[in-house]
Amino acid sequence: MALHGIEPGSPGRPDRVGQCPVLPQQAEICGKRHTKAYRCGQGVILVLADPNLAAPSRRTSCCSLFQCIPGLLVVFSVSSCTWTSLPAVHLLAVCRIVGIFIGLFGSTLAFPVAIGLIYGEQATSSFLLPMLSYLALGSVLFIIGRPLMNQNHLGTRDGFLIVASFWILLTLLGAWPMVLGFGMDLVDALFESASGVTTTGATVLTGLDEMPKSLLFYRQLLQWLGGMGLIVLGVAVLPMLGIGGMQLYRAETPGPVKGEKLTPRLAATARILWMIYLGLTAICALAYWFAGMSAFDAIAHSLSTLSTGGFSTHDASLAYFDSAVIESIAVVFMLLAAINFGVHFTVLYQRRPLHYLRDIESRSFLAIVLTVTILISLVLLTEGGYNGWHDSLRDSVFEVVSVVTSTGFGIVDFTHWPDFLPLMLIMISFIGGCGGSTAGGMKVMRLLLLVQQGILEIRQLLHPHARLPLRLGGRLVDSSMVQGVWGYFAMYVTAFAILTLVMIHAGLDETSAFAAVATSMNNLGPGLGQVAYTFQDVSDLGKIVSVIAMLLGRLEIFTLLVLLSPDFWRD
């Protein structure tokens, strides 16, 4: 009987230390019940020793002798066996979990179906077939992974593969209803779908005001699901199926700090994040409604506000409503969406609103918004043709917040602003929001680390023999985090340069190519030049490049590029 990498046969010695993916059970070894033991039917026992245990020896019924070595996996057997390398990726487990996520996505299509039925639209049929198909596909993939029903261990590689493959699949699956409902060709549908699920907000569509509400709501729903991430929702569900989700959480979480849990239980953390996300969305919808939006517009725009997606149900975006109150509500909730949701939890749990200012990333983010807003407002007042500070401040506040949070709503055409302002807005989109938020960009925390590291290097030149630790917010920063940030920055610049060159080859001028890649990788939406309003006139090659850039930005580059490494697939 062969069982996950252990085979009876000729004698062999372990050639690698690893963890056997067999159902763990509590074993009373060394008098400690929390030691994990992994057994198979051939008299083999694998023990993952607790590093806090002492090192006594004890005979067991399954082993000739068990030697407790803290922190190591040891194998002793009374029978001969061959230890074989474990697979680099457990494909059946990947199929099973991706199937769960596809099923979750399929079930959400019931919402546009309901909207279509409420308004009596024929477009409802555009969602019924995809919904049933995705539920069926998810069930099939779940059944394929059934042989691993008792396996609850996911490796780091499994997490990366699940997250990357699901986002690619979600882009493909999200395009089908658009082909059926909008009558779009495949490339345009893929672009619109990718723009939705990555919360970019760029579009190839016009005439939104006359389109069926079920299709408009579907676009908004894609952004809301992509904002917090269906995978984070899945992490809350997986423990009910006996599957751990830490590796998925690490691969999905945006920002330089990965895997931070708000509670001891990861599933509880995921549920808290989604409850905050859902609660803020509901409050935002009510605020929009009280401010004068219709119920449909209020719900639809709340979905794209909290996801920082920027899709609207009107061609004119929020300028359609021409309401300072609605714009103010949007500014508040865009800022909330761009702040780390862990900070929101701390504020709510401890009831300390001032924690927003104590957190160095949130404080720096708000300082950036304030500084850029004042600068742009002054330029508009002196050179932009504005007659008073009220209008210049109103427009500058909204556009700066919309761009730096990567939402992309618009109330004015900032491409007609004077001098360097349009390019400046595109440049601040590179900063983005805080880590652990729904905003795009490179994240404020990475910028802070890079700046602090640069200052430290200057000080080191002045004091070459001094040992100068890197601190941020009064805390020591681990060198591995700094290396990760520099690695991310290097890969970001490399990918950006390559994609920009391909965009120029696809027919865009230099300014438009730069703006197209920037707005796609930063998940922003509006651009400059030929892509200032829509990507409708961009070639198919350019749209495909934009889709790749959107996915790279949403998955923060490494999650997608790691799949291209040969080492990823080696045992």
**In terms of domains, do 37 and 154 share one?**
no
- pLDDT score, position 250: 56
- Which structure tokens are listed for 210? 């006359």
Rounded Cα gap, residues 241 and 252, in angstroms: 20
In a domain, 50, yes or no: yes
In a domain, 240, yes or no: yes
CB contact at 8 A, 322 and 453: no
What mean pLDDT do residues 246-251 have? Answer: 52
- pLDDT score, position 478: 81
CB contact at 8 A, 82 and 114: no
Q: Which residue stretches of 150-245 are H helix?
A: 156-182, 186-197, 213-228, 230-237
**In terms of domains, do 276 and 239 share one?**
yes
In a domain, 342, yes or no: no
Rounded Cα gap, residues 49 and 36, in angstroms: 7
Rounded Cα gap, residues 340 and 343, in angstroms: 5
Question: DSSP secondary-structure letter at 85?
Answer: P
What mean pLDDT do residues 365-376 have? Answer: 96
**In terms of domains, do 298 and 166 share one?**
yes
**In terms of domains, do 59 and 163 share one?**
no
CB contact at 8 A, 171 and 105: no
**In terms of domains, do 255 and 269 share one?**
yes
CB contact at 8 A, 238 and 317: no
pLDDT for residue 8 is more than 70: no
- Which structure tokens are listed for 58? 């004890």
Quick one: pLDDT band at residue 232, thresholds 50, 70, 90?
low
Question: Tell me: the pLDDT tens digits for 466-489?
Answer: 888 888 877 888 877 888 889 889
Quick one: pLDDT band at residue 274, thresholds 50, 70, 90?
confident
**In terms of domains, do 39 and 67 share one?**
yes
CB contact at 8 A, 406 and 369: no
Quick one: pLDDT band at residue 371, thresholds 50, 70, 90?
very high
CA separation, residue 354 to residues 11, 344, 439 (Å): 64, 11, 22
Rounded Cα gap, residues 398 and 334, in angstroms: 10
In a domain, 374, yes or no: no
Rounded Cα gap, residues 92 and 231, in angstroms: 18
- To 5 degrees, how large is the angle CA 110–CA 114–CA 119? 150
CB contact at 8 A, 370 and 404: no
As a whole number of angstroms, the longest Cα–Cα distance in the chain is: 89
* Highest mean pLDDT of the ranges 70-79, 108-117, 462-471: 108-117
In a domain, 223, yes or no: yes
**In terms of domains, do 159 and 23 share one?**
no
**In terms of domains, do 75 and 222 share one?**
no
Long-range contacts of 388-397 (CB under 8 A, 24+ apart): 394/324, 394/327, 397/331, 397/373
Rounded Cα gap, residues 182 and 195, in angstroms: 15
One-letter identity of residue 551: L
3-state secondary structure 11-32: CCCCCCCCCCCCCCEECCECCE
**In terms of domains, do 165 and 299 share one?**
yes
- Which structure tokens are listed for 526? 């509006």
Domain boundary (261, 291, 322) is at 322
Question: Tell me: the pLDDT tens digits for 136-153?
Answer: 999 998 888 776 554 555
pTM: 0.81
Rounded Cα gap, residues 425 and 427, in angstroms: 5
In a domain, 484, yes or no: yes
**In terms of domains, do 159 and 36 share one?**
no
Going by C-alpha positions, the residue among 63, 71, 105, 87 that lies closest to residue 153 is 87
Domain boundary (63, 86, 109) is at 86
Quick one: pLDDT band at residue 320, thresholds 50, 70, 90?
very high
**In terms of domains, do 136 and 243 share one?**
yes
**In terms of domains, do 82 and 108 share one?**
no
Quick one: pLDDT band at residue 565, thresholds 50, 70, 90?
confident
- pLDDT score, position 291: 97
Rounded Cα gap, residues 516 and 534, in angstroms: 10
CB contact at 8 A, 340 and 434: yes
What mean pLDDT do residues 497-517 have? Answer: 96
- pLDDT score, position 388: 83
In a domain, 46, yes or no: yes
In a domain, 210, yes or no: yes
pLDDT for residue 317 is more than 90: yes
- pLDDT score, position 67: 36
Quick one: pLDDT band at residue 233, thresholds 50, 70, 90?
low
pLDDT for residue 83 is more than 70: no
State how many domains the chain has: 3
pLDDT for residue 258 is more than 60: no
Domain span at 100: 91-322
Quick one: pLDDT band at residue 271, thresholds 50, 70, 90?
confident
